[in-house]
Chain A
Amino acid sequence: MHIGLFVPCFIDAFYPKVGIATLELLERLGCRVDYPFDQTCCGQPMVNAGCHAEAAATEQLFVDNFAAYDAIVAPSGSCVHQVRDNLTAIEQTPAVKHVRENTFELVEYLHDVLEVEAFPWACFPHRVGYHDSCNTLRHLGHGKPSELYGPSFSKPRTMLSKVEGVELVTPDRPDECCGFGGTFSATEPEVSGQMGRDKIADHGRAGADYIVSADTSCLMHQAGCAKRIGAGIQFRHIAEILNGANA
C-alpha cells in the first residue's frame, strides 16, 4: 500500500499540525506515505456553491497528483466526501475513478482498512465531546445518525476509546450540525454563527473540556465562534489525539 497524503488547502494554511499528526500517525502504523508536492485543493469550495465548471481544473489537478497511489488519505471528511461523491466536473476516466474509489477519510482508513486495535503511544486525560461532522457521519458513514433506526456504532468513538485517559461526554443533541456548511458559513453568517454557539454551549453543558472532530473545517468554525464569545472550550483534530498529543 502506497498512500498519498492529501492535506486540504485550509489545513495546509492554518492547521499544519493536523497534517503533521496525520502523516506521523500513518507512519507509526507502518504505512508508506507520500505527500505529492503539487497538491492544492479538491474543488469543494466551487462545487459546494454550485459552480461545477469552475472546479473542473482543480479536480483535474487533484487527480493528476494522486492517480499513482493505491490509497489517498485525508484528515477532512468534507473533502473526502467531495472527492468520493461529487468529483464529477471532469470526464470520468479510469484514473479519476481510481482516485475517487480509493480516497479515504483518516478515521475510516484506521478503522476499516488498518483495523487499528491500539494507540499505545497516546494518552489524553481529558473530557472529550466528539463532534460528528455531517459529512463524516451521514455522507461517509462514520456512525449511526440519531434519526435512523438501527444499532448504534461510531468509528471515531471506537478509535478514541482506545486512547488512555479519554473520557467521552455526550451533548443533548449529539449529531446536530454545527453550522459550518462550506459556502453556507458565508451566505448565512447569522444562522451559521448561532448554530456554532449552540453547539459549543451543548458540549459545555455536557462537561467537555475539548471538542474533537475528524473535520477540521467544523473545528475552524466552532473555534472561531468560541473565540468570538470568549468560551474557554478547546478544539483538537482526532488525528492529533490518536498521534499522542496530550493537551
Chain B
Amino acid sequence: MASDNGANATSEAQPRPAKPGAGKRVDHAAGARQFLAATEHAESHDERVWAMRQRRDAAVETIPEWEELRDLASQIKTHALTHLDEYLEQFEANAKANGIHVHWAADAADHNRIVHEIFQENGVQRVIKSKSMLMEECGFRQYMDAAGFDMIETDLGERIQQLDDEDPSHVVVPAVHKMRSDVSQVFSKTLDSDPGNDDAHYLTEHQRQATRPLILDADAGMTGANFAIAETGGFVVCTNEGNADLSANVPNLHVASIGIEKVVPRVEDMGVFIRMLSRSALGSPITQYTSHFRGPKPGGETHIVLVDNGRSERLGSEKFWSALKCIRCGACMNTCPVFRRSGGLSYGATYTGPLGLILDPSIDARRYSNLPFASTLNGSCTNVCPVKINIHEQIFEWRKVLAEDKQVPWTKRSSLAAAGRVLASPKSYRAALKTAHSALHYLPDWAIYNRLNAWGQVRDLPDVPAEGTFHDWYRKHRLNTAEAGDNE
C-alpha cells in the first residue's frame, strides 16, 4: 500500500537506530531513546501514525456490522489455518491448472535460491518488485544485491527505503518515520534531485521520472500476495499506487512470493477481507488497486513460491498459532502508543509494533527477547485487529516463555525472585517498609518492580505520606492494639 509522503520538513537529522549484528539482542529501549531524542521527528511520527488510527476509527464508524465482520474474518482465517494442508493442495492444483508454476520453499534460503534459479533460467538481469514483507523476512533484497541483480522497488515508500539502504519501518507505510526533508536528502544523493527542494510533488515526480525507465526495461517482476484463493488458484494483491500491476504486467515473467498462511478457501471470502484491510490500515474504504491474478498473461510466465519459513512450526504452537491469521494491515502499529513513540526501526526486525512483538521472538527468541517487554499491555492492538488476534495476551505469554527459557536477564529474574520472597512474607514486607528511611530506599525493591534510576530518570518519586502506611493508619484508627496482627 502507499506511503503517505506529506510529512513536514525539518533540518533535524533523521534518527537511525543501529541494527545489532548477528547473534546480538535487539535493544528496543536504546533505539527508542535515540528516536525520541530527535524531537521533531518523534512528534511528527506520533501525529502521522495517530492520524491513521483516527481515520480508521472514522471508517469503522460507518460500518455498523464491524464487530461481526471481525468475527467472520477471524473464523475464516481459523478455518483456513486448521485445514491448511487441504487448502494449500487445492490452491496448488488450481494454480497449476491455470498455467502457473508452483514452487515450495521450506525457508528463507530456499525461497531466495528458487527465485534466483528462475531468474537464471530466464536470463533475467533487472527485476522490479512490489513491496512484500515476506521478501524482507527472507532477506531477499540483500541476497539479490549480493548475487548482482538490479532490483527496483515500485512502491514509493519502499523505494525511498531502498534508496536510503534502510529497512521498512511499518508494514503498510514503510517510510512513515521519514519527514519530507529526509526524503529530499535521500533523493538528492541518489537520484540527483535539487537538494534545496523538499516539495512533496516535486520529489514524487522526480522519483517517478527517474524510476519509470528502469521499470519499463525490467526483465522480471515480483509481487507478494495479500490473499491466495484455494478454490481458484488465483491470488490478490492490494496496493494504493497500482505498483503491483506494474511489477506483474510490465515484464513477461511474474514471480509471486506467498507465505503459506495467506491461503483462504473462496473468492467470496474477499468480500470480508477487502472491506476490512484498508479501512483498518489507513481508513480508506478500499485500496486503490485490488488486483486479482489468475494466470500468466498471453506469452508470459507466472511462478508462485509458497514459503513456509517457520510458519508450520508456529501453526503447531498452542499459544501463538493465531498470529498466522494476520493480514498485515498495520492497525496494531498505528494504535500502539509505544510504536508511535519509538518508530519502527527501533524494533530491529522485519515485523514491527505489536505484531512484531509476537512474531519476531518465534523467528529468533534470543535476538528479539526484549521486544515483548516493549509494551504496556494496554490491549488496544487486540481491539483494532481485524482478524481478532489476541495480540496483547500473546505478548504477555511471550514474557513468560522467555523468562522460563532464561532469555530474561539473570539480574532481572533474581531481583524479581527476591521481590517475590519479600512479598510472600508479611513479616519481611513490613520489615522492609519499616527499616526504610525514605521511599528512596524501598521503592526499587518491591513497589516499582525495578531499578530506581529507571523510574527517577523521567519521573519524580511520590512523597512519603505523613500518616505512614495504610497499615499503620488502620492499626491506629481501627484496631485495638490487642487485636492487631503480629507482623509489624
B401 contacts across to A, CB distance below 8 A: 50
A145 contacts across to B, CB distance below 8 A: 379-380, 383
Asked if A190 and B383 make an inter-chain contact with CB atoms under 8 angstroms apart, the answer reads no
Asked if A134 and B379 make an inter-chain contact with CB atoms under 8 angstroms apart, the answer reads yes
- B32 nearest CB neighbor, chain A only: A191
Asked if B455 and A183 make an inter-chain contact with CB atoms under 8 angstroms apart, the answer reads no
Distance of A38 Cα from B426 Cα, bound (Å): 5
Q: Which of B60, B63, B337, B439 is close to A14, meaning CB atoms less than 8 Å apart?
A: B439
Contact A193 B426, CB 8 Å, known A14-B465, A50-B403, A148-B383: no
Task: Answer whether residue A225 sits at the interface, using C-beta atoms and an 8 A cutoff.
Answer: yes
Asked if A7 and B470 make an inter-chain contact with CB atoms under 8 angstroms apart, the answer reads yes
A186 contacts across to B, CB distance below 8 A: 448-451, 454-455
B472 contacts across to A, CB distance below 8 A: 16
User: When each residue 48-76 of chain B gets 1 if its CB lies under 8 Å from chain A and 0 otherwise, what string results?
Assistant: 00100100010011011011000000000
- A225 nearest CB neighbor, chain B only: B459
Task: Answer whether residue B262 sits at the interface, using C-beta atoms and an 8 A cutoff.
Answer: no
Asked if A183 and B337 make an inter-chain contact with CB atoms under 8 angstroms apart, the answer reads no
Q: Which of A15, A46, A61 is close to B426, meaning CB atoms less than 8 Å apart?
A: A61
Contact A13 B433, CB 8 Å, known A50-B400, A54-B420, A148-B383: yes
Distance of A60 Cα from B384 Cα, bound (Å): 35
Distance of A216 Cα from B451 Cα, bound (Å): 20
Task: Answer whether residue B376 sits at the interface, using C-beta atoms and an 8 A cutoff.
Answer: yes
- Tell me how far the C-beta of A83 lies from the nearest C-beta in chain B, rounded to whole angstroms: 14
Asked if A16 and B376 make an inter-chain contact with CB atoms under 8 angstroms apart, the answer reads no
Asked if A149 and B416 make an inter-chain contact with CB atoms under 8 angstroms apart, the answer reads no
A94 contacts across to B, CB distance below 8 A: none
- Tell me how far the C-beta of A170 lies from the nearest C-beta in chain B, rounded to whole angstroms: 15
- A184 nearest CB neighbor, chain B only: B376
| CB under 8 Å from chain B, chain A span 177-215 | 177, 179-196, 198
Asked if A182 and B377 make an inter-chain contact with CB atoms under 8 angstroms apart, the answer reads yes
B417 contacts across to A, CB distance below 8 A: 51, 54
User: When each residue 349-388 of chain B gets 1 if its CB lies under 8 Å from chain A and 0 otherwise, what string results?
Assistant: 0000000000000000000001011111111101110000
| CB under 8 Å from chain A, chain B span 227-277 | none
Asked if B485 and A191 make an inter-chain contact with CB atoms under 8 angstroms apart, the answer reads no
Contact A177 B459, CB 8 Å, known A19-B470, A37-B485, A195-B337: no
Contact A134 B380, CB 8 Å, known A13-B447, A54-B416, A191-B29: yes
Task: Answer whether residue A150 sits at the interface, using C-beta atoms and an 8 A cutoff.
Answer: yes
B109 contacts across to A, CB distance below 8 A: none
- Tell me how far the C-beta of A35 lies from the nearest C-beta in chain B, rounded to whole angstroms: 5
A54 contacts across to B, CB distance below 8 A: 413, 416-417, 419-420
Asked if A228 and B416 make an inter-chain contact with CB atoms under 8 angstroms apart, the answer reads no
B459 contacts across to A, CB distance below 8 A: 185, 193, 196, 221, 224-225, 227-228
B461 contacts across to A, CB distance below 8 A: 224
- A7 nearest CB neighbor, chain B only: B470
B327 contacts across to A, CB distance below 8 A: none
Task: Answer whether residue B402 sits at the interface, using C-beta atoms and an 8 A cutoff.
Answer: yes
Task: Answer whether residue A40 sits at the interface, using C-beta atoms and an 8 A cutoff.
Answer: yes
User: When each residue 442-480 of chain B gets 1 if its CB lies under 8 Å from chain A and 0 otherwise, what string results?
Assistant: 100011111100110111111111011111111000100
Main secondary structure on B side of the interface with A? helix
Distance of A200 Cα from B446 Cα, bound (Å): 26
Task: Answer whether residue A247 sits at the interface, using C-beta atoms and an 8 A cutoff.
Answer: no
Asked if B451 and A150 make an inter-chain contact with CB atoms under 8 angstroms apart, the answer reads no
Interface size range of chain B in the complex: 35 or more
- A36 nearest CB neighbor, chain B only: B485
Asked if A187 and B470 make an inter-chain contact with CB atoms under 8 angstroms apart, the answer reads no
User: When each residue 381-417 of chain B gets 1 if its CB lies under 8 Å from chain A and 0 otherwise, what string results?
Assistant: 0111000000000001011111110001000110011
Distance of A145 Cα from B146 Cα, bound (Å): 48
Distance of A180 Cα from B455 Cα, bound (Å): 10
B147 contacts across to A, CB distance below 8 A: none
Distance of A72 Cα from B334 Cα, bound (Å): 37
Asked if A188 and B403 make an inter-chain contact with CB atoms under 8 angstroms apart, the answer reads no
Task: Answer whether residue B83 sits at the interface, using C-beta atoms and an 8 A cutoff.
Answer: no
- Tell me how far the C-beta of A214 lies from the nearest C-beta in chain B, rounded to whole angstroms: 15
- Tell me how far the C-beta of B438 lies from the nearest C-beta in chain A, rounded to whole angstroms: 11
Task: Answer whether residue A147 sits at the interface, using C-beta atoms and an 8 A cutoff.
Answer: yes
Contact A195 B341, CB 8 Å, known A15-B465, A16-B468, A55-B420: yes
Task: List B residues at the A interface (Cβ < 8 Å).
Answer: 28-29, 32-33, 36, 42, 46, 50, 53, 57, 60-61, 63-64, 66-67, 335, 337-338, 341-342, 370, 372-380, 382-384, 396, 398-404, 408, 412-413, 416-417, 419-421, 423-426, 429, 433, 439, 442, 446-451, 454-455, 457-465, 467-474, 478, 484-485, 487
A–B complex contacts, Cβ < 8 Å, 17 sampled? A9-B446, A13-B447, A19-B474, A40-B425, A41-B423, A50-B401, A138-B383, A147-B380, A149-B66, A179-B337, A181-B378, A184-B374, A185-B455, A187-B370, A190-B457, A191-B338, A223-B460
User: 3 smallest A-B Cβ distances: which pairs?
Assistant: A181-B376, A193-B458, A50-B399
Task: List A residues at the B interface (Cβ < 8 Å).
Answer: 7, 9-17, 19-20, 23, 35, 37-41, 43, 45-46, 48-58, 60-61, 86, 134, 138-139, 145-150, 173, 175-177, 179-196, 198, 220-221, 223-225, 227-228
Known: A37-B485, A221-B459. 12 other contacts (CB 8 A): A12-B471, A17-B465, A45-B419, A49-B416, A51-B413, A54-B417, A134-B378, A147-B53, A182-B449, A187-B370, A187-B454, A227-B460
